[in-house]
Structure 1
Amino acid sequence: MYSSTLGRAPGPRNFFIVQNFRPGTTVTMIPVLLSLSLLLGTTVPQDTQAGPYSLTFLYTGLSRPSKGLPKFQAIAFLNDQAFFHYDSESKKAEPLEPWSQVEGMEDWEKESQLQNAREEIFLVTLKDIMDYYNDSKGSHTFQGMFGCDLWSNGSTGAYWKYAYDGRDFIKFNKEIPTWVPLDPAALQTKKKWEAEKVYVQRAKAYLEEECPGMLQRYLNLSKTHLDRQAPPSVSVTSHVVPGGKRTLQCLAYNFYPQGISLQWNKANKVSESESAESVLPSGDGTYQSWVVAEVSHQDRAPHFCHVKHSGLSQPLKVKWDERQKAQVEGNVAPQPQ
């Protein structure tokens, strides 16, 4: 029995609470609104250089902030790479590596002022929702996600959504245009936001014009950071488990972008999948993934881990034999653990 995976790590379009986030530190994300990714529909994977390129803003507001979790924070992403951070404690929009080395990305003082204004509106909305449900005694989370996509053929896409305590709350339909309530309390928010039609038109213009314009400007300055290719290092290991079975693991790591295919097979025949693992961020801008196979302890036939990634000039095939020695066929050598 073999397991295989064609991995694509979740990008910023899932909602997350980000803990202890400061420039130069590792981002720890706790997914709290997993269902919301379904609302965004199917998109073209970001592991192809044809696009799309994306600019995404993720806002999180907490009614009861704690140490390491500020009352409000905003993170902006270019594709899957966070490029600036703002929170209610620092009151500063600060570029992250490697974007801090790119001149002309933003006037960071003006960006700090803009995020401060958005913070005030965001937290007022959170309070309005809590008042509607008489939830003042509990701990509550309000999150927003908006942004746009840009393909190499010039076409664009956009999205703007909010959630309260992990439930879909309200989203913007730019075709009508209008805010679409997804929660009873959102009817009140819709009326408040649409009291002046100019705000609806501004939201539509932001998604269709301003956001794609910003994204194109960022790409002109730093596209090479998003187009970089880092091929995977590969490690093959094994150990015997109770019952006479042997578990083989093929680990790929230090690769970018996140799209990768890992697959075990025997004598060039793919067996039935046993389980599929995920692609996970390593914390340094690269990714890791693995695939596991369970074989009989008496099985002495060679087994192969096949690896496909855009950073490889050709697919990689790593062989495991009964002596637990890995041999590589391709252009990246296996790395011992």
Structure 2
Amino acid sequence: MDKENMKLFFLILLCYGSFAVKHSLNYFIIGSSGVLNISEFAGVLMVDGVQMGYCDVSKKILEPRQEWAKNILKKHPEQLDWYKHKCFEDQPNFFRELISSLKQQFNQSEGVHILQRIDGCEWDETTGEVIGMTQYHYNGEDFLEFNLETLTWIALKPEADVTKLKWDTDQLGIKHRENDLTKICPEYLKLYVEYEKSFPQTKVPPSVSLLQKTPSSPVSCHATGFYPDRAEMFWRKDGEELHEGVEIGEILPNNDGTFQMSADLSILSVTPEDWGRYDCVFQLSGGEDIITNLNESIIRTNWKGESHFDTPIPIIVAVGAVVMLIAAVGFVVYKKKGERLTEAVSTTER
């Protein structure tokens, strides 16, 4: 391929990548039995990876978590009524009954039991393609998955066969599930994206700290509270970006709609006199770089041994206990399913 054709080829790729925009509406729902200090039923609504709403039955909470989400409820009060019904009546009852049924099936009279449902849809703004999914997980293990092509349930473990056979005969439930994933979810997603785009996107810089568990542990450069999630973080030495001995973490959501991330630097081969040559760099899209020099005097640690680091690490609470559990489950499912959708929970019955 000659140079001109090569330029054209990359230009086409660049244009395609610029216009290919995908959006996601994801629900995480969790029901529990025998768990202290955690709500019996809670849910999180995510739009494009940002928490839009939160529901907690025990605390009687149902609230939007973004300003643009509040505008939706003002102009579309029927949305609030719909979510109230699902959050406080429909879904809690369904989860209680299902957990009770599964406990009987597995002969589990006592103990802690957790049921999660993760479902929703992804919409390609360019092609119009919509992909939906629903997954159930019981006590931390894959349980059931809905197949939109065959309109049947897939048992992800032998013990789920009983539930699969029962739900496959429920044709009304199947139709509700198909309608949720192919019509209601995309309709809501497009509405939410429209409001999200119309809302002014204010950039919020993070708070950056250097953290370390022990004197020999990697130094973690932790940034939290930034918005939006288009950000990068890396370590550099003498102004040159480092790759060896560096581990970059993923961008994770905080409970307030902002984000956090970390970049770890191994210091085993770094001599004390060279510390000043290392910097942590945080870059927020369209903003100025935040540079933090590797300085032992500002490192925070809980290490109580013989060390010159004696500043305690503050407890960073990014999300509440329930949300953390839900997010952790969603992250595991995302890793397992690869390119499949990972976040979403239908707000109707099966």
| TM-score bin (small chain) | 0.5 to 0.7
TM-score by length of 1: 0.67
Q: Structure 1 CA distance, aligned partners of 2:136 and 2:77?
A: 25
CA separation of 1:65/1:109 partners in 2, compared to 1, >3 Å: closer, same or farther? farther
Structure 1 or 2: more helix by fraction? 2
1:218-258 deviations in Å (ceiling 9; x for gaps) = 22233345x8352534757699x869x9x866443432233
2:49 alignment counterpart: 80
Q: In the superposition, relative to structure 1, how do residues 134 and 311 fare at CA in structure 2: closer, same or farther (>3 Å)?
A: farther
SS across alignment from 2:229: coil
**1:245-324 matched pairs, under 5 angstroms:** 250-267=221-238, 268=240, 270-293=242-265, 294=267, 295-299=270-274, 302-312=277-287, 316=289, 318=291, 320=293
Partner of 2:143: 169
Please give the secondary structure, in 1, of the residue aligned with 2:131: strand
Kept after mapping to 1: 8 A contact 2:50/2:253? no
Query: Which residue is equivalent to 1:210?
Result: 184
- Rounded Cα–Cα distance in structure 2 between residues aligned with 1:304 and 1:187: 55
Instruction: Tell me the distance in 2 between the aligned counterparts of 1:219 and 1:165.
Output: 33
Deviation at 1:188, TM superposition (A): 1.7
Count of aligned pairs: 272
- Cα deviation digits, residues 179-234 of structure 1 (max 9, x gap): 10112332221222222323223312221122101111222233345x83525347
CA–CA distance in 2 between the matches of 1:130 and 1:323? 53
Structure having the larger proportion of residues in strand: 1
Q: 8 Å contact 1:146–1:159 — kept in the other structure?
A: yes
Q: CA deviation at 1:167?
A: 0.5
Identity %: 23
- Residue pair 1:254, 1:287 contacting (<8 A) in 2 also: yes
Matching residue's letter, 2:43:
A
**1:15-49 CA-partner distances (Å, limit 9, x unpaired):** xxxxxxxxxxxxxxxxxxxxxxxxxxxxxxxxx99
1:33 equivalent in structure 2: none
Q: TM-score under structure 2 normalisation?
A: 0.65
Greater mean alpha carbon deviation, residues 203-212 or residues 215-224: 215-224
Output one character per residue of 1:268-306: Cα deviation in whole Å (capped at 9) or x when no partner.
Answer: 263512444454445432223333442211227743434
Q: Please, what is the CA RMSD of the aligned residues?
A: 3.6
Matched, 1:70 2:42: no
**Equivalent residues of 1:234, 1:250 under 8 A apart:** no
* 1:255/1:110 CA distance change after superposition, 3 Å: closer
- Separation in 1 of the partners of 2:41 and 2:157? 22
